[in-house]
Amino acid sequence: MLAVTRSAAMAKPRIEEDRLEGVRVLKKRQFCLSVALVAAILLELASPAAGADKDPTAAESGTETGAIEVPAFTYPPSSLSSEEQKRAYEQSLAMPGDGTITMPSDPKLVAKIRSFIEARFKPTIDKMQERYPVEMSQETIAGVEVIRVRPKGGVAKENRKRVLVDVHGGAYMVGWPSMALLDAIPVASLSGIEVVTINYRMFPEAVHPAALEDLTKVYKEILKDHDPANVGIFGGSGGGIITLQAIPWFRERGIPLPAAIGALACGFQTAVGDSVIWNFNGSISKPGTTLIETGGYFGDAKRTDWVPGTSPEALAYYPPTLWMAGTRAPEMSGAIFGHTSMLKKGVESELYMIEGGWHSSYSTAPETPESQDAMRYIAHWFDKRLGR
């Protein structure tokens, strides 16, 4: 069980073995190792001879090559995290449940969850509008409900031909309008660009590809008045995955691609690689834990597979892409792998990592300096890549 402490007493090292690969270490309860001795031990362990006496049948024992055993220990928050982020992390860990996601299908239960989410984030959104002054209007575009978010005082002349489309997160089931505004408000205020955030159809009322269809309707309508070179699309969590899906979806339908996209708190795959140990609330998951059950918006699709409709072969035609993830988030490895895969295809790709951040902490913990820095970077990134 992951425990968060503001200060962790560090036990003094203790060595119980008499030898470590031929290096004699005297038994002592308290000791200091010189830099030279540490270097000698590392060199000894790294040399070919270090593994010469290992049991050759180890690989046949069922243990995965290179696997290590991790003893139980208390894992404090990152020493590089701000005090505000440590407090927000503690609150995330205190949320009910173990940080996994179960996809309910009962509409009444989903309605209760939606109400809970909206009530939880309303005070946060009120405070955000003080930090990030904006003007908002609710309307429909091509039959889809949207909220237009503009910087306070209106969009400056130099930005009037530019627009960003925001696809909110929430496991394709919740998040309107709270999670949409958590992203749209700071990005609009900091970039000076209008953000149109959309209320796409969600589960259980709809299933894939409903969100893509709704995004397409809004995007095509926006293109009637805007050059695609002046349009960006971004989203967090589930909204980030829809954003990633949109590129091959548009291309297959002959729809011009946006100038740039932001895939935030997501990856082409989730809960893979080294990040399998992290639950969505930032707690530690035991190996083999299913962080997201099948069912819901994507049906029986496994969340460890590539996002439906995308493939490694398709990456070459993606527009410039910004990835963002926390170091304690289950999407971390998926974001890293997506970023490096795009670089191999010659795509302009950038990866922004939040030290000590958990899933979607860039938006759901707006009181932290880490979130504020991340929002400034998102705004700056799109400002540099959209045409005028």
pLDDT tens sequence across 159-202 = 999 999 999 999 999 999 999 999 999 999 999 999 999 999 99
Q: How many percent of the chain have pLDDT more than 90?
A: 73
**How many CB atoms neighbour CB 118 within 10 A?**
16
Rounded distance between C-alpha atoms, residue 115 and residue 174, angstroms: 9
Res. 358: pLDDT tops 70: yes
**Tens digit of each residue's pLDDT (9 = 90 or more) over 282-306:** 999 876 677 776 889 999 888 889 9
Domain ranges of the chain: 1-76, 107-385
Res. 382: pLDDT tops 50: yes
Res. 363: pLDDT tops 50: yes
CATH code matching the domain that covers 107-385, chosen among 3.40.190.10, 3.40.50.1820, 3.40.50.300, 3.40.630.30 = 3.40.50.1820
**How many CB atoms neighbour CB 327 within 10 A?**
18
Rounded distance between C-alpha atoms, residue 108 and residue 362, angstroms: 30
Name the burial class of residue 7, with classes exposed (0-12), middle (13-18) and buried (19+) by CB atoms within 10 angstroms of its CB.
Answer: exposed
**Tens digit of each residue's pLDDT (9 = 90 or more) over 145-164:** 999 999 999 999 999 999 99
pLDDT band at 33 (very low <50, low <70, confident <90, very high): very low
Instruction: Determine the average pLDDT of the residues in 353-361.
Output: 98
Q: What is the 3-state secondary structure (H, E, C) of the chain?
A: CCCCCCCCCCCCCCECCCEECCEECCCECCCCCCHHHHHHHHHHHHCHHHHCCCCCCHHHHCCCCCCCCCCCCCCCCCCCCCHHHHHHHHHHHCCCCCCCECCCCCHHHHHHHHHHHHHHHHHHHHHHHHHCCEEEEEEEECCEEEEEEEECCCCCHHHCCCEEEEECCCCCCCCCCHHHHHHHHHHHHHHCCEEEEECCCCCCCCCCCHHHHHHHHHHHHHHCCCCHHHEEEEEECHHHHHHHHHHHHHHHCCCCCCCEEEEECCCCCCCCHHHHHECCCCCECCCCCCCECCCHHHCCCCCCCCCCCCCHHHHHHCCCEEEEEECCCCCHHHHHHHHHHHHHCCCCEEEEEECCCCCCHHHHCCCCHHHHHHHHHHHHHHHHHCCC
**Tens digit of each residue's pLDDT (9 = 90 or more) over 301-335:** 888 899 999 999 999 999 999 999 999 999 999 99
Can you give the pLDDT at residue 304?
Answer: 86
Can you give the pLDDT at residue 62?
Answer: 60
Can you give the pLDDT at residue 10?
Answer: 38
Can you give the pTM of this predicted structure?
Answer: 0.84
Res. 46: pLDDT tops 50: no
Q: How many percent of the chain have pLDDT more than 70?
A: 83
